[in-house]
Chain A
């Protein structure tokens, strides 16, 4: 395969990508996922120091009625940023069990499309 320019070791923290089910949102102030029905879910299975963030926070904070279809789609994507450590397999399995989550995956291993 043609070589690529990868991020240097340690440049990126460990992370997991997730997609929310429709009508769920994350209340960062309370650290809870909230469904349209009012049901809540508190994620408790993550290691200490983990953070849950929207991929595009500005859209998540906007009234959904004012968003286009692709913008609304974007509001469902989040990242769980994990503290330094080993593999993420255990956390992926745990997050798959959350009731608010439609899909969970490792983030793409980003590189630059050129020779080093």
Chain B
């Protein structure tokens, strides 16, 4: 007798994420989310905005905007209590002129609460006023940005056509150094978004139909591996680099670069050297290849792919052709400077930019168990490989990007997002994105790209230095985190 198939319906957790129950009854009202500037010492309550004497004009301006519309409610978007909102206003008065999360962290241990307390939910009585209200609030000096909240999406099998959420605020790696690589700071520069550069990701599969990826990313060669884990991984990697800057999803570091992919599976077997050369044949000077693979070395721990001589030669060849090769160091907690690696690719220069996994500064948006630090920012994460050939680091923990579905799930993979992409896997696309921004800038400013050696030198010399942490001294070298604003001055 055929076994009845268990249905994955609303209210169940599936591999795709939680499928919410259908929303019944009247449609929820449109409302506005206003994000207060860190340095604006403005508090709020159901009656409106308030501020200490020196900042009272800011509060009055906001209240003047509110007075133009019938308002149903004003409250914390994250449901924080009034004490937290008052604390926020007090802390804001002590911040410098252009504060960052780092300057906030110097003044409070609970950075996450400070950040969340700046999100104000304003519900107009008439839904049609929401867009106008958002526009007027956005023009006030106390507000960084204001927008109409996306309507809740019932993630049921019947599907929904409303837009996905905006995850860009959770992409801390875009932020200014020392926390992030400063990508958002250099986007205003001509070429600074990776224009006229192609980045090719070498691994095994991708969801190239994801809603937040550019259309028509070509598969340059190889055979995709039909597996959800591999597809999520490739999608997450592409998302960090080229997800589109729009009102939903994430924004890639080099979101104006062209993307391409090449599978490492050729003739039914892994052939990484063949994939590198296949990608190199389709690329030109100034472009970049990302190798998102690892394999066990002689100690049984995962190592970088350039350990194998054919792959080393392929990287050298691509680099000699002016293509910057970025390579994940691997998650083996392995020391590449050990004698066992003498005369192997792990103690020779292939020309690649080899990337280790560093600790990110904070996880503001990981609220499962409250915020927990995994180490000193920019110190080596315990699993990252290290050694002299590891040149730079990227965030190796809880990177927000496309795929997996833990941040936004639902029946369609095309709308999945994650807050938890980790490993040298998440670190390497951050560096590749930085490479594309540098090369785009060089092409725009100098009319020619940089050599791969120059790109690597700039990343190393301009980066925000690695830090030591408990059990992870600086001798366990993974190099600095790219600092794009500083790097751009060297192009």
Interface string of B315-329 (1 = CB under 8 A from A): 011001000000010
Whether A113 touches B320, Cβ cut-off 8 Å, given contacts A7-B225, A55-B274, A56-B277, is no
CB contacts (< 8 Å) of B422 on chain A: these are 114-115
* Interface SS, B side: mixed
Interface size of A by Cβ–Cβ distance < 8 Å? 37
Interface set of B (CB-CB < 8 Å, partner A): 203-204, 225-227, 229-230, 233, 236, 264-265, 267-274, 277, 281, 292-296, 301-302, 305, 307-310, 313-314, 316-317, 320, 328, 330-333, 383, 421-426
Q: Is the CB of B273 within 8 A of A2?
A: no
Bound complex: CA of A14 vs CA of B270, how far in Å? 10
Q: Is the CB of A81 within 8 A of B425?
A: no
Q: Is the CB of B302 within 8 A of A113?
A: yes
Q: Which residues of A (1-56) have their CB < 8 Å from a CB of B?
A: 1-2, 4-5, 7-8, 11-15, 17, 19, 51, 53, 55-56
Residue of A nearest to B425 (CB): A114
Given contacts A5-B230, A74-B314, 4 further A-B contacts (CB under 8 A): A55-B310, A108-B308, A112-B204, A114-B236
Q: Is the CB of B320 within 8 A of A2?
A: no
Choose one: A11, A13, A77, A109; the contact of B296 (CB below 8 Å).
A109
CB contacts (< 8 Å) of B302 on chain A: these are 1-2, 4, 111, 113
A94 proximal to B (CB < 8 A): no
Residue of B nearest to A13 (CB): B268
Residue of B nearest to A14 (CB): B269
Q: Is the CB of A110 within 8 A of B423?
A: no
CB contacts (< 8 Å) of B301 on chain A: these are 1
Bound complex: CA of A8 vs CA of B204, how far in Å? 11
Residue of A nearest to B203 (CB): A112
CB contacts (< 8 Å) of A64 on chain B: these are none
Q: Is the CB of A70 within 8 A of B313?
A: yes
CB contacts (< 8 Å) of A73 on chain B: these are 309-310, 313
Q: Is the CB of A2 within 8 A of B423?
A: yes
Residue of B nearest to A59 (CB): B277
Q: Is the CB of B320 within 8 A of A109?
A: no
CB contacts (< 8 Å) of B314 on chain A: these are 56, 70, 74
CB contacts (< 8 Å) of B204 on chain A: these are 7, 112
Q: Is the CB of A71 within 8 A of B233?
A: no
Q: Is the CB of A108 within 8 A of B233?
A: no
Q: Is the CB of B227 within 8 A of A12?
A: no
Q: Is the CB of B273 within 8 A of A74?
A: yes
CB contacts (< 8 Å) of B307 on chain A: these are 108
Residue of A7, A79, A113, A114 with most chain B CB atoms under a 10 A cut-off: A113
CB contacts (< 8 Å) of A14 on chain B: these are 269
CB contacts (< 8 Å) of A15 on chain B: these are 269-270
Residue of A nearest to B311 (CB): A108
Bound complex: CA of A56 vs CA of B310, how far in Å? 10
Whether A113 touches B424, Cβ cut-off 8 Å, given contacts A12-B265, A74-B313, is yes
Bound complex: CA of A15 vs CA of B271, how far in Å? 10
Q: Is the CB of A8 within 8 A of B227?
A: yes
Q: Is the CB of B229 within 8 A of A116?
A: yes
Whether A8 touches B225, Cβ cut-off 8 Å, given contacts A1-B301, A2-B383, is yes
Q: Is the CB of A112 within 8 A of B277?
A: no
Choose one: A55, A79, A113; the contact of B331 (CB below 8 Å).
A113
Whether A108 touches B270, Cβ cut-off 8 Å, given contacts A70-B313, A74-B310, A113-B423, is yes
Choose one: A5, A53, A56, A109; the contact of B229 (CB below 8 Å).
A5
Whether A112 touches B305, Cβ cut-off 8 Å, given contacts A55-B273, A59-B277, is no
Q: Is the CB of A58 within 8 A of B277?
A: yes
CB contacts (< 8 Å) of B293 on chain A: these are 110-113
Whether A2 touches B331, Cβ cut-off 8 Å, given contacts A70-B316, A81-B269, A112-B203, is yes
Q: How far is the CB of A19 from chain B (nearest CB, A)?
A: 8
CB contacts (< 8 Å) of B330 on chain A: these are 113
A107 proximal to B (CB < 8 A): yes
Bound complex: CA of A1 vs CA of B313, how far in Å? 29
CB contacts (< 8 Å) of A115 on chain B: these are 422-423
Choose one: A56, A58, A111; the contact of B295 (CB below 8 Å).
A111
Bound complex: CA of A112 vs CA of B237, how far in Å? 11
Q: Is the CB of B317 within 8 A of A112?
A: no
Bound complex: CA of A17 vs CA of B293, how far in Å? 18
Q: Is the CB of B295 within 8 A of A68?
A: no
Q: Is the CB of A11 within 8 A of B225?
A: yes
Q: How far is the CB of A102 from chain B (nearest CB, A)?
A: 11
Q: How far is the CB of B97 from chain A (nearest CB, A)?
A: 39
Choose one: B271, B295, B317, B426; the contact of A71 (CB below 8 Å).
B317
Q: How far is the CB of B326 from chain A (nearest CB, A)?
A: 13
Q: How far is the CB of A51 from chain B (nearest CB, A)?
A: 7
CB contacts (< 8 Å) of B332 on chain A: these are 1-2
Residue of A nearest to B424 (CB): A113
Whether A11 touches B317, Cβ cut-off 8 Å, given contacts A112-B204, A112-B230, A112-B233, is no
Bound complex: CA of A15 vs CA of B270, how far in Å? 9
Whether A110 touches B270, Cβ cut-off 8 Å, given contacts A2-B333, A5-B229, A71-B317, is yes
Bound complex: CA of A53 vs CA of B309, how far in Å? 17
Choose one: B268, B281, B331; the contact of A12 (CB below 8 Å).
B268
Q: Is the CB of A110 within 8 A of B317?
A: no
